[in-house]
Structure 1
Amino acid sequence: MVYGGWEGHEPKQTADVFAPLLEDAGFEVTLSDTMDSFLDGDLMQSMSLVVPCWTMGQIEAEQEKGLREAVESGVGLGGWHGGMCDAFRNACSYQMITGGQFVGHPDGIKDYTVNITAKEDPIVAGIPDFQMHSEQYYMHTDPGNEVLATTTFEAESAPWVSGTVMPVVWRRIWGEGKVFYSSLGHVAADYEVEEAKEIQRRGLLWAARD
């Protein structure tokens, strides 16, 4: 788990929500506060899963190359909210891997519904639609994503986007690697919503290399 960037997204605190859950699942979790971890090829190849939790910031070309090559070789990639899909705005090739990029959150913190759309998928199976009180992410997304949950916008500050159905949770394949993302998780307290926490836990386990 590589954390840093904008502190408003509580990168260390949100990483600390999922580190023990991954440990409970049998993983040895390494926490790093530097993107130079991506430069260590042996370290990256020893990983089953990389969890970026780094809102905004700049990734250097060689750092991005190390991460991309790891995923393409089969290392999983999984994350949440801005820590994964509002990271490294300078790196379009990184955005191609993740399958989406944050572009706005009309109305800021608000109440909204998350609708489970792939009800038979094991990542979301048995989880009903649920409510969030947080940022509702408006995103540019890859049409190749396998979408598992969506949300519908009703935006007072941008009424022209009202009615837009936006992916919230998706998974995809990049090279030999599995990629999972959820736009939930603005701050650690968002994971007091058990449905959001369980989807993220299952998604990270799915993405991890066997």
Structure 2
Amino acid sequence: MSDARALIFWGGWKGHDPEACASIVSDILRAEGMEVTSVEGADILQSEDLDRYALIVPMVTQVASDKEGVDRLCAAVRGGVGLGGFHGGMGDAFRDAPAYQFMVGGQWVAHPGDFIDYRIEVTRPDHPIMNGIDSFDYHSEQYFMHVDPGNEVLATTTFTGEHAPETAGTTMPVVWTRTFGTGRVFYSSLGHDSKELSEPAGREILRRGLVWATRTER
């Protein structure tokens, strides 16, 4: 992937440590041989030729959308640019833009109990993103999301109902892939902040998922 270009745009809620996370993900992608552009804010979506990138990584929790920018992002992915990301930076970006949520395949709505211990169950061990990764315990926010039933789900978590009785027994996607037009989309709800990105299984899933989503042909 030595000629692949990646765009990371970051910002929004400081609790997700967007600048530090962008730096970590930049290092991950550069180690894969990509040329990385990392910028603060989403204004670049309105002005940049997004089709020049092989991968776009949003990290903008709770940032309001600009219709032109979101439309241009959706058009780029539909045309073949890869989209990949994690946690609220991708799954809670542009809350006011259903077109973006439709492309991503989900939207965060709650994390009952805040930081808790829970279990990640690998459901597709045959998929290249999950190959060799066993189910594992995790400590973070257990994301409850509204998700597209058409997603290809690679890992799940099941809510006990301890912190929100109405969720008891609900099995929720944690990692998924999908296609949007001719573009590949990858999402993982793991990775609350830069410290959490050092967790081995979650970091490896993220690395593989971003590589998987990257466009390899024009």
Band the TM-score falls in, shorter-chain normalisation: over 0.9
Alignment pair present for 1:182 and 2:210: no
* Secondary structure, counterpart of 1:157 in structure 2: coil
Report what 1:141 is aligned to: 147
Give 1:13's aligned residue: 20
Which residue matches 1:49? 55
* Secondary structure of residue in 1 paired with 2:36: coil
Q: Tell me what 2:39 maps to.
A: 32
Q: CA RMSD in A?
A: 0.9
Superposition TM-score, scaled by structure 1 size: 0.97
- Cα distance between partner residues in 1 of 2:24 and 2:137: 20
Q: What is the rounded CA distance, in whole Å, between the counterparts of 2:161 and 2:114 in structure 1?
A: 10
User: Amino acid of the residue matched to residue 120 of structure 2?
Assistant: V
Give 1:190 shift. Answer: 1.3
TM-score by length of 2: 0.94
CA distance, structure 2, for counterparts of residue 86 and residue 196 of structure 1: 18
Equivalents in 1 of 2:212, 2:102: separation in Å?
Answer: 20
Gaps of 5+ in 1: none
Gaps of 5+ in 2: 1-7
Q: Residues of 2 paired with 1:121 and 1:67: CA distance?
A: 27
| 2:165 counterpart of 1:159 | yes
Q: Is the 8 A contact 1:6 1:56 kept in 2?
A: yes
* Residues 41 and 60 in structure 2, CA contact (< 8 A), matched pair in contact too: no
Match of 1:103 in 2: 109
Deviation by residue 1:98-141 (Cα, 9 ceiling, x = unmatched): 00000100011000111100010000010011111100000010
Structure that is richer in helix per residue: 1
Give the aligned length: 209
2 CA distance for matches of 1:90 and 1:26?
35
After TM superposition, which residue ranges in structure 1, 4 or more long, deviate above 4 angstroms? none
Correspondent of 1:115 among 121, 125, 137 = 121
Q: Distance in 2 between matches of 1:119 and 1:204?
A: 17
